[in-house]
Structure 1
Amino acid sequence: MAEGRNPVAVASLLLPATLLFIAVLVIPLIMTVLLSFYSWGQYTGIVEDFTAENWIEVFTDPYFGEIFLRTLRISFLATLLAALFGAPEAYILKRMNPRWRGLFMLVILGPLLMSVVARTLGWALLFGGNNGVANQFLMGIGLIDAPLPFMFTETGVVIALAHVMMPFMVLSVWASLQRLDPQVENAARSLGASQFTVVRRVLLPQIMPGILSGSIIVFALSASAFATPAIIGGRRLKVASTLAYDEFLNTLDWPLGAAVAVLLLIGIVLIIVASNALVERRYAEVFR
């Protein structure tokens, strides 16, 4: 009969990680929540009195509502774009010759080794206004007749965010594909199913949990991203993260910036919890 684990030994192993978690995450989060209930004045600075003025302003001012809706819209479109391109990429990698698979996996995941700022600056150079490489290429192949605005627009932010987050989607779908038996596809073809039917009826239902998991990751990272919206969107196109940054460092209204940051965190957590329940349900349906 196996001996039971010593509770003291288990607690001693968990204690350092628990204390670190509390010190770097829980305590700063509690302090941020408390800060959001302080008041601020141009001449008085931060006043440590309990007030809900910042939350009332965030919920009643249409300016903040527009920014949060923009954040939600950009994050959703970036997630959709990452799924549309990331899922086929993962499937192609799965079917690729093993000799080439490692090389192309490195190409897809290699950007994770590079700073997000560097990758975003690369997109800024590609967009580069009317004479940017992207516009010159699109006009050169005849897709457009006049330059398209990419910089300081939602379109540019969505494209850059989708590229930055693409590896996370590929990894999530790749994990689902590892559970897929290739003989299932062969069996479907032997029964007369077309390639489109195999993808729609056999492949897609089995990799849908991976797509949903990747979408959760991409959406959460896109909604909280700062560098890409700040560089591509600039000051003309604010999202929740850049708004909180401006309130903290430009206007110095820390309580209002804390309210924006906490509200963004609450929104992301609620969306993740709801999406995670959907993912678990899909896993239960597919792998039961």
Structure 2
Amino acid sequence: MAPPAATPARRARFRLPAPFLLSLPALLALGGALLLPLLGVAMLSFQGFDFDTGITPGWSLANYAELARDSLFHEALARTFRIALIVTALCVLLGVPEAWIIHRMAPRWRGLMLLVVVGPLLVSVVVRTFGWMVLLGTNGLLNQAMLALGIPGAPFRMMFTEFALILGLVHVMVPLVVLSVWASLGRLDPALLRAAESLGASKAATFRRVVLPNIMPGVLGGALMVFCLSASAFATPAMLGGKRLKVVASMTYTEFLNTLNWPLGAAIAVLLLLAILAATLLWTRLVERPALRRLGAA
């Protein structure tokens, strides 16, 4: 006697959801390319190190205890997030009006200006940073120009300062805010602007009460992206900050490739990752969600 046919309910019980099956290749690729290396770094951070024998077997929290007592690490961590916050604020202040101006341009100029804005992203980070070194050096173009103008105190020391780091990071991070806000402006209904103008609203009032609430998701998303990338940046701080002005990423590089203390470098990398994740969660919970909720209610 043949077994009874499976009912539709029984077949549905063992069927994997279609979204999971469609995303399974991406999840496997992400796990292999990102999660497994991060897991390896995290496991390495719990191992010991000896300058004679190298990495020693065993598991302990000695590396994290050492960083908890290290005032140099505390200073580098505070500098990293201070610079990231300043860069984020400057990028938002520059990028939002820039995106709005480009949006209001004639179509024949709009594409050209977008190409100019994203230009820094098309150049290698090393080449771009070398350009800033040429500009900001003691005998660089900026100091030579100030000497020619007779500015008192010139030449100024600009290289290997936080000013140089912030300037170099803002140069490459502003396009991220512009593109994020640009995408939000593309979804803005032009009828809203015409309605505001017909009701007698000024351009400033229209931007503040109509445009800004609609592009706020793009502003917040761009700001978060700039903050994370600035806090984890390595090449620009290493070249413009030098050995004296350390950030967490450059400390990780030093431990891995100079002192060869891989477990301590792994611990620094893990703490930087956790700090960025914590800042992202706090931003999402305390800033982004309340802001979008208020704008939705308004």
Same fold (TM over 0.5): yes
* Residue 61 (1) aligns with residue 70 (2): yes
Equivalent residue, structure 1, for 2:164? 156
Equivalent residue, structure 2, for 1:35? 44
Deviation digits for residues 6-62 of structure 1, max 9, x if unmatched?
639876654433322222111111111111111111112111211111101112221
* SS of the residue 1:7 aligns to: coil
Which amino acid in structure 1 is aligned with residue 51 of structure 2?
Answer: Q
* Residue 242 (1) aligns with residue 250 (2): yes
| Identical pairs, percent | 49
Equivalent residue, structure 2, for 1:207? 215
Change (3 A) 1:257 1:207: same
Distance 1:144 1:166 in 2: 31
CA contact (8 A) 1:209 1:282 kept: no
Distance 1:180 1:140 in 2: 48
* Residue 271 (1) aligns with residue 282 (2): no
Which segment is superposed worse, 191-200 or 213-222? Answer: 191-200
Equivalent residue, structure 2, for 1:72? 81
Which segment is superposed worse, 93-102 or 115-124? Answer: 115-124
Deviation digits for residues 192-222 of structure 1, max 9, x if unmatched?
4443333333333332322211110001001
How much has 1:280 moved relative to structure 2? 3.7
Equivalent residue, structure 2, for 1:184? 192
Equivalent residue, structure 2, for 1:100? 109
Distance 1:119 1:271 in 2: 28
* Residue 225 (1) aligns with residue 201 (2): no
CA contact (8 A) 1:172 1:210 kept: yes
State which of 20, 32, 36 in structure 1 corresponds to 2:29. 20
CA contact (8 A) 1:213 1:276 kept: no
Unaligned runs of 5+ residues in structure 1 are none
Equivalent residue, structure 2, for 1:120? 129
Which amino acid in structure 2 is aligned with residue 66 of structure 1?
Answer: E
Higher Cα Rg: structure 1 or 2?
A: 2
Which amino acid in structure 2 is aligned with residue 212 of structure 1?
Answer: L
Change (3 A) 1:169 1:142: farther
Which segment is superposed worse, 149-158 or 200-209? Answer: 200-209
How much has 1:136 moved relative to structure 2? 3.4
Equivalent residue, structure 1, for 2:180? 172
Distance 1:50 1:228 in 2: 34
Distance 2:189 2:148 in 1: 44
Equivalent residue, structure 1, for 2:259? 251
Distance 1:147 1:229 in 2: 22
Equivalent residue, structure 1, for 2:295? 286
Distance 1:161 1:58 in 2: 27
Question: RMSD across aligned C-alpha pairs, in angstroms?
Answer: 2.5
What is the aligned residue count?
Answer: 285
* SS of the residue 1:40 aligns to: strand
Equivalent residue, structure 2, for 1:48? 57
CA contact (8 A) 2:238 2:250 kept: yes
Deviation digits for residues 165-217 of structure 1, max 9, x if unmatched?
11111011112222333443444444444433333333333323222111100
* SS of the residue 2:118 aligns to: helix
* SS of the residue 2:206 aligns to: helix
* SS of the residue 1:236 aligns to: coil
Distance 1:286 1:13 in 2: 34
Change (3 A) 1:11 1:74: closer
* SS of the residue 2:242 aligns to: helix
Change (3 A) 1:59 1:242: same
Change (3 A) 1:173 1:137: farther
Distance 1:147 1:191 in 2: 54
Change (3 A) 1:180 1:14: closer
How much has 1:116 moved relative to structure 2? 1.4
Deviation digits for residues 48-85 of structure 1, max 9, x if unmatched?
21111110111222111000000001111111111111
Give the TM-score normalised by the residue count of structure 1: 0.89
